[in-house]
Amino acid sequence: MADSSFDIVSKVDKQEASNALTQAEKEIEQRYDFKGVGASIEWSGEKILMKANSEERVKAVLDVFQSKLVKRGISLKSLDDGKPYASGKEFRIEATLKDGIEQPEAKKIAAIIREQGPKSVKANIQGDELRVVSKSRDDLQEVMELLRSSDLDIDVQFTNYR
């Protein structure tokens, strides 16, 4: 019998993120508490740039964006938001969307599978994703459940289940 496998990835749907940003932009333009404070949110290359005239307002812009991401089904673990910083007369926050599993996080996931998962399961790091292989499909589903219940720093999806 052939081995069964699946991949563990951490990807963000760019279109959904863009839609969330557009919705946040519209809400910021329309809300009364954002009138006259220079509040805005926009793409700046691969980063998301939020601006306002006070630290509290720029945090409120971030909060609006986070709520739109959640409504669109994007985990907040995928958003890497920085601290507010002053730039001239305005405050800014630069945020990025995490894409791919970085090496330390991949090693941590592999260690969890090795220590707590079934003994027949093997996890291999392949670039920015992990391939999990086993003879038993039940063991693979057990690993998926284990990772869903683990407190990981990133949002993971399971693909190529065969």
| CATH of residue 140 | 3.30.70.860
| 80 shares a domain with 152 | no
Q: 67: part of which helix (H) or strand (E)? A: helix 55-71
* Last residue of one domain, picked from the residues 78, 97, 116: 97
- Write down the pLDDT at residue 154: 86
What is the rounded distance in angstroms from the CA atom of residue 86 to the CA atom of residue 52? 10
Residue 41, token pair as written in the block: 């949110």
| 80 shares a domain with 150 | no
Q: Residue 119: give the domain boundaries.
A: 4-11+101-159
- Write down the pLDDT at residue 45: 86
Number of compact structural domains in the chain: 2
| 138 shares a domain with 118 | yes
Q: Select from 135, 110, 107 the least CA-distant residue to 120.
A: 135
- Determine contact, residues 77/155, Cβ cutoff 8 Å: yes
- Determine contact, residues 11/99, Cβ cutoff 8 Å: yes
Q: Select from 16, 20, 6 the least CA-distant residue to 148.
A: 6
Q: What is the pLDDT of residues 106-151, one digit of tens each?
A: 899 999 999 988 888 998 998 888 999 998 888 889 888 988 888 8
The predicted model scores a pTM of 0.84
| 123 shares a domain with 66 | no
| 47 shares a domain with 28 | yes
| 93 shares a domain with 54 | yes
- Write down the pLDDT at residue 137: 87
Q: What is the pLDDT of residues 57-91, one digit of tens each?
A: 999 999 999 999 999 999 999 998 889 999 888 99
